[in-house]
Structure 1
């Protein structure tokens, strides 16, 4: 955001809050300043993977009275799917880290406390 657009927004806000034209257009009940913290929400884990392979493995176990030897092909299929999903998750995490990604709320709060917003201007 350029400094010109920031000053334009500041001027427009000052005009809306002023009493020059009678009552102000905006009447804020709280100060128009960002807080120095964000809501502490949990990050989404993402979607479940390998559900089909897991259900096939459990069906095989149930059919063969939980005998691992008779369900070895389903077990290997499930483990290869899990390994593939873990590789994809690591790759996705590395891509998000290189592109900025999103901060966890705890990290954002730490940074906002270290660099608080300016409260004197308004």
Structure 2
């Protein structure tokens, strides 16, 4: 397979041929393995917590003066706890969440299982 690469800079517009070498087969496997990716704890409610602490500092840690900020932080933390429980249930049932940025290993395997690749077995040695 021949591809071309246009390099801009020293000689504008000059086309240099680049040879593509397939090092590994360009095929998907039907499953993925768990790599032990550690996900950071979600940083939810950071803004209400910061506002609450600023109010505490300004009012010498008086809870009555900062009741609105405390209430806002509690509401935010309860909402995020509900969302985390929903995500946990979705992970266990393999349901996909459209707002999630990443798939779990189990969810990826379910998706790959719905659309299996009928590939030839891997060669004994690489070319």
Larger RCO (alpha carbons 8 Å, 6+ apart): 1
TM-score by length of 2: 0.46
Structure 1 or 2: larger helix share?
1
